[in-house]
Amino acid sequence: MRLKIISLLLLAFLSVSVSNTLAQQPLEAAATQAELAMQKAVDYYQTGQFNEAAGLLRGFVVSHHDSSLIDQAYYYLASIHNEQRDPATAVGYLDKISAEGQSPATTLLQSELLLQMGDATRAVDQLLQLETQSLDLPERQARYLHLAEGLTLLEEPHKALYFYQQGLVVEGAETPREVLARIYTLLSARFNEADLAEAAFMYHNKPVAYLAMLQLGWRALAAGQKELAQEWVSAAMMAPAGFAYHEEALALQSQLSDPTQFQRAIGVLLPLSGRYAAFGKRVQRGMELALEVFRPHMPVRFIFRDTAGDEMVAAQQVAELAISDRVLGIAGPLVGNAAQGAVRRANQERTPLLTMSQREGLAGSSLYTFRNALTPQLQVRALLDYAIEERGFYQFGIMKPQTRQGEQLAELFRAEVLRRGGEIIAEESYLTDQTDFRYQVRSLRGLDPNGPDEEEPPTDPNHPDFVKKEEQPPPFEALFVPDYADRISLIAPQLAFYGLENIQLLGTNGWNDAELPKLARQFVEGAVFTDGFFRHSSYPFIQEFVELSFDRYQEEPTILEAQGYDTAGILLTLLNDPQLQSREDLRRALAQMQNYPGVTGATRFDFIGEADKVLFLLQVQNGTIVQIN
C-alpha cells in the first residue's frame, strides 16, 4: 500500500514542471545522455529494483549535478529511502530539492517522513499550508490521512477523527475499509464513552457514527450493562448494506442473545430489486398466498430481505437473520450467486436453509442446506421412467443446442440411459441461432450429412419406374431434444421433412408452452415432456391454488409462484408442530419429510438435501398439452 501511494504521488510529481523543462521535454522522448541515464534509473525504480535504481541515481547526482532533472533524481532517492525505512536520509534528499522543484508530492512525502521521525508538529504545519485545490484525489486523501495521523500523535483525537472522515469520503490509494480500520483504532484507543457518544451524534448517518456506536456497545457489555449494549448494537446494525464492520456488530449481537431462544419466524431471501426482481416478486407472491391459506395453529412470521442477487449481501443477510432476528430457518435465495453466499453463512450459523436456486451443488455442500427446485436430474429421470419403464424404449438419439444447459441435460440423459441398460445410437448438436437442421437430421439417420436428398420414387403403380418402397425403420426409438418451444417449432417439422419419422419425441420443461402445438402442428403430436408445474392439471388442490392466485393477483400463476407457495407450505406445515423448537429440530424435520403434497409435485428430500419430486408428465394430444401421469 505504501508503494502504491508513493507511485501515485510520483505521477503527480512528474506532472509539475521543473523550470518548465519536464513539461517541454518528456523523459521518454529525451535524447541527451542525462535523460537516458535518468530513464534507466526510473525503469529500475518502477520494477521495484530499488538498490539498482539508487546506485544509478547517486551516479546521476554526481555526474549531472547541473541537469534540469536533478530535482527529480533527489525525489526518487528520497522515495527509495522511504521504502527502505530510512526517513532521515530521505528527508535529507528532499531538502536538496530547489524551490522551483517543490510540488504537492514533495510536501506529502516529506510530511510522511516527518511523521515517521516523530516530528508531528512540523508535518501538520506543512500539510495545513498545502492548498487542496492543487491536489488530485489520491493526493487529497493522502493529505487528510497524514493530518489525522499527525494530530493523533499531538493528542488531538477529535481533530484527527475529522480528517479521517474527510479521507474516508475521498477516493484515493487507500480503500474505505482501510480508512475505517484506522478510525476504529483511533476510537478504541483515544476516545472515552462521552467522546464516543459525541462522535455518534456529530457524524450522524456516517460510518464514523456506526463505529462509535459499536465501540459503545462493546464497552457497555464489558461493564455488564446488557440493555445499554443492546441499544447501541441495534443502532449500529442500522448501518447501510456493505458496512465493513457489520460482522463485528453481529458478533456483539450474538453475545447479547440467548442462543436457545428463537423467533417462530422464517427469513426469506429473494431478489426484489435489480435484474432478477420480476422473478423474486413472483416467488414472494406465492409465499404470501401460502401464509393466507395455511394459517398454522402456531403463527409463523416471514421476514423478507432483498438480496438484489448479490452474493455478499445474501451472506450478510443470513448472518443478520440468524444472529439478530433469531429465525428458526431461512428460505431462498433464488439466484445462484446469492445462494452460494447464503449457503456458506447458513452452514456457519448452523441454520437450516431451503433454497430455490437452480445452481448445482448447493445441497451437497452443507448439512443445513436443502433445495426445492426443478432440477435437470429430476427431469431426465422422469422422462426415462416413462420411456424405458413404461414404453420399453432402449435406443435413443440426442439432438442438443450448443448451450451450457443443453450440454448438461444431454450429458445427464446419456448417463442415465446407459445406467438403465439403454443405448445412445446417435447424437448431434446445433447452434442457438440455427434455422436449417438438414445436416443434423441426416447425421442422426446415419446418412452422409452433405449428400444429396433422396429422390422420391413414383407412387403410381402403373408407372414404369414404380418400385414398392421398403419401409426403413428409424435408427432409434426416441429422440431427446432439450430446448425451448420456439426452437422446437423449427426442428420438429424438419425431422419429418428429412425423413426422421415415427419416433417418440422427448423434451424438458422448455417445451411446456401453449403455443407449441399451434406452431409445430402435427409434427409434435404425441411428444412427451416434463415440468414442475402444470396449471391445467386436473388435481383439485392445483386448481384451487390457480384460482386463489388469480383472484389475489388477477393473473395466472407461473412455476415461480408455485415454487414459492410450496416452499412456504413446507416450512409452515413443519413449524405447525409444537414440538419443533430449535433449528436442529427444523433441519431434522426437513430431512425426514416424506411426500409433501405440493403444487409442484409430491416432494421429499434425499440424503444430501436435494428435492425428490414426482414431476408432471405432459403430452401433446390432438393439438393440446395434457397431463398423462
User: What's the CATH number where 412 sits?
Assistant: 3.40.50.2300
pLDDT (average), residues 433-459: 83
Do both 519 and 563 map to the same domain?
Answer: no
Q: Is pLDDT above 60 for 4?
A: no
Q: Is pLDDT above 50 for 16?
A: no
In a domain, 366, yes or no: yes
For 579-615, strand residue ranges (E) read: 596-598, 601-605, 611-613
In a domain, 554, yes or no: yes
- pLDDT attached to residue 480: 98
Confidence of residue 457 (pLDDT cuts 50, 70, 90): low
In a domain, 500, yes or no: yes
Confidence of residue 160 (pLDDT cuts 50, 70, 90): very high
Domain coverage including residue 588: 257-373+538-611
Do both 41 and 153 map to the same domain?
Answer: yes
Domain C-terminal end among 487, 506, 531: 531
Confidence of residue 18 (pLDDT cuts 50, 70, 90): very low
Do both 461 and 570 map to the same domain?
Answer: no
Do both 414 and 461 map to the same domain?
Answer: yes
Please write the tens of the pLDDT for every residue from 309-334.
Answer: 999 999 999 999 999 889 999 999 99
Q: Is pLDDT above 60 for 17?
A: no
Q: Is pLDDT above 90 for 90?
A: no
- pLDDT attached to residue 81: 85
For all residues of the chain together, what is the average pLDDT?
A: 88
In a domain, 496, yes or no: yes
Give the angle 222-226-227 at the CA atoms, nearest 5°.
145
The dihedral built from the CA positions of residue 312, 251, 302 and 366, taken in this order, carries a sign that is positive
In a domain, 207, yes or no: no
Q: How does DSSP classify residue 622?
A: T
Please write the tens of the pLDDT for every residue from 465-498.
Answer: 544 445 578 899 999 999 999 999 999 999 999 9
Return the C-alpha torsion angle 559, 561, 564, 568, nearest 10: -130
Do both 174 and 31 map to the same domain?
Answer: yes
Lowest mean pLDDT among 22-26, 95-99, 117-121, 508-512: 22-26
3-state secondary structure of 322: helix
In a domain, 251, yes or no: no
Return the C-alpha torsion angle 259, 263, 265, 269, nearest 10: -40
Residue 240: how many CB atoms within 10 A of its CB?
A: 9
Please write the tens of the pLDDT for every residue from 595-622.
Answer: 999 999 999 999 999 999 999 999 999 9
Lowest mean pLDDT among 17-31, 121-135, 484-498: 17-31
Using CA atoms, how far apart are residues 524 and 519, in angstroms rounded to an integer? 9
As a whole number of Å, the CA-based R_g of the chain is 36
Lowest mean pLDDT among 216-220, 255-259, 279-283, 572-576: 255-259
In a domain, 209, yes or no: no
Q: How far does the chain reach from its first CA to its final CA, in angstroms?
A: 65
Confidence of residue 104 (pLDDT cuts 50, 70, 90): confident
Do both 394 and 286 map to the same domain?
Answer: no
Kindly report the backbone phi and psi dihedral angles of residue 613, in degrees, each rounded to the nearest multiple of 5, phi listed first: -115, 155
Confidence of residue 8 (pLDDT cuts 50, 70, 90): very low
Find out whether 475 and 425 touch, Cβ atoms under 8 Å. yes
pLDDT (average), residues 428-440: 95
Do both 422 and 335 map to the same domain?
Answer: no
Q: Is pLDDT above 70 for 27?
A: no
Using CA atoms, how far apart are residues 514 and 523, in angstroms rounded to an integer? 15
Domain C-terminal end among 174, 202, 230: 202
- pLDDT attached to residue 30: 42
Percentage above 70 pLDDT, the chain: 92
Using CA atoms, how far apart are residues 206 and 187, in angstroms rounded to an integer? 14
In a domain, 389, yes or no: yes
Domain C-terminal end among 139, 172, 202: 202
- pLDDT attached to residue 372: 96
Do both 36 and 150 map to the same domain?
Answer: yes
pLDDT (average), residues 199-225: 92
- pLDDT attached to residue 436: 95
Confidence of residue 461 (pLDDT cuts 50, 70, 90): low
Lowest mean pLDDT among 31-35, 177-181, 408-412: 31-35
Q: How many domains does the chain have?
A: 3
Q: Taking Cα atoms as reference points, which of 516, 529, 562 lies closest to residue 413?
A: 529
pLDDT (average), residues 379-404: 96
The dihedral built from the CA positions of residue 576, 579, 580 and 585, taken in this order, carries a sign that is negative
Please write the tens of the pLDDT for every residue from 36-65.
Answer: 888 888 888 888 888 888 888 888 888 888
- pLDDT attached to residue 19: 37
Please write the tens of the pLDDT for every residue from 509-542.
Answer: 999 999 999 999 999 999 999 999 999 999 999 9
CATH of the domain at 43: 1.25.40.10
Q: Is pLDDT above 80 for 456?
A: no
Do both 60 and 193 map to the same domain?
Answer: yes
Global pTM reads 0.67
Helices and strands, counts by H and E, the chain: 26, 15
- pLDDT attached to residue 222: 82
Do both 328 and 197 map to the same domain?
Answer: no
Please write the tens of the pLDDT for every residue from 328-382.
Answer: 999 999 998 999 999 999 999 999 999 999 998 899 889 999 999 999 999 999 9
Do both 163 and 17 map to the same domain?
Answer: yes
What are the distances in angstroms from CA 323 to CA 253, 481, 589? 7, 47, 22
Select the more confidently predicted residue: 198 or 465.
Answer: 198
Lowest mean pLDDT among 58-67, 203-212, 396-405, 618-627: 58-67
DSSP notation for 523-544: GGTT-EEEES--TT---HHHHH
Do both 115 and 146 map to the same domain?
Answer: yes
- Which range has highest mean pLDDT (182-196, 257-271, 446-460)? 182-196
- pLDDT attached to residue 21: 40
